[in-house]
Amino acid sequence: MVSERQGRPVGRRLVLGMLGLGAVGVAVGAPLQDSLNGVFAGVREKDPTGITGLLPGSGDFRFYSVAPSVPQRTAADYRLTVDGLVARPTAYTLADLQGLPRTRMVKDVQCVTGWRVPRTPFTGVRLSHLLDAAGVKPGAKAVRFTCFDGVYTESLTLDQARRPDMLVAYAMDDRPVTHAHGGPVRLYAAPMYFYKSAKWLSGITVTDRVQPGYWEERGYDVDAWVGRSNGRDDASID
C-alpha cells in the first residue's frame, strides 16, 4: 500500500541531506522554518537520533503535505466556497467564518500512522452550520472537500458531516491555524483519524455520493473512525 510516509520523497531526500550537515534549523528564519517543518514531517517518525525533535515550535506534531509547496492565503484573499447540491452557493471570507457561531473542542489528535497529540483544542464553526446555511437539496448524500494546495481531497457522508464534532477550524491550540497546519482554515473531523482533517480547506461541495479522498484512493478507509478503522493503530497500514 502507498502510505503517508512514502508520499514525500523530495522532502525526505532534502532532509537527509541536511541531517548530514549536522546543524539543523538553528539559523533559519520563520517562513523557511515553516516549510522546513513540512519537510521534516516525513522523517521525524523514523529519526533514531531525535534530532528533528529539536525544531522549534513544532510541539509533538508532525506536519504533513502531499503537495511539494502550498501557497499562502491571508485574511484578505482567503475564500471558502460551499456549492454543489445546495440552494444557496456561498463564498465565505475568514472574517465571515469567524463571525459565525463558534465551537471549541479539546480532544486527542490521532494520525493513522500511530502518532498522537493529546488534548489539542480546535476552534471554528460547525460544518453543519455551513450546510444548513447553504440549504442542502434533496438527494444529497455526501460532502467533498477540496484544498488550495491543489492536490488533497477528502469526503464525508452527509450524516457524518452533520455531526456536531465536525468543524471548519480557524484556530488550533487557541491560536490561528498556522500555514504548516493548514491555515488559515482546515477541516477538523474530531472523531476520525487526522487524515480526514483536510488542511488549506477551500471548497465544500455537496454531492450525491461519496467520492473517496486522496488517501482513500490509496487504500485508507473512507469511514475513518478512530479505533474502529484501518486495522486500528496497526502498523500494517504502512
Ligand X SMILES: Nc1nc2c(c(=O)[nH]1)N[C@H]1C(S)=C(S)[C@@H](COP(=O)(O)O)O[C@H]1N2
Cα–Cα distance for residue pair 87/175, rounded to 1 Å:
34
Residue nearest to Mo ion according to CB distances in the complex: 111
Strand 153-157 relative to strand 142-147, pairing = antiparallel
- Cell digits for 205? 461541495
Output 25 or 42, the one with its CB closest to Mo ion: 42
Q: How many residues bind Mo ion (CB under 5 A)?
A: 3
63 interface partner picked from ligand X, Mo ion, none, CB below 5 to 8 A per type: ligand X
> Is residue 196 within 8 Å of 156, Cβ to Cβ?
yes
**Residues between 54 and 113 that touch Mo ion (CB under 5 A):** 111
Q: Of 148, 195, 214, 220, which lies in the binding site for Mo ion, with binding defined by CB under 5 A?
A: 195
Least spacing, CB of residue 39 vs Mo ion, in Å: 16
- Cell digits for 2? 502507498
Residue nearest to ligand X according to CB distances in the complex: 152
Cα–Cα distance for residue pair 141/185, rounded to 1 Å:
24
Cα–Cα distance for residue pair 223/238, rounded to 1 Å:
18
19 interface partner picked from Mo ion, ligand X, none, CB below 5 to 8 A per type: none
Least spacing, CB of residue 67 vs ligand X, in Å: 7
Footprint of Mo ion (CB under 5 A): 111, 194-195
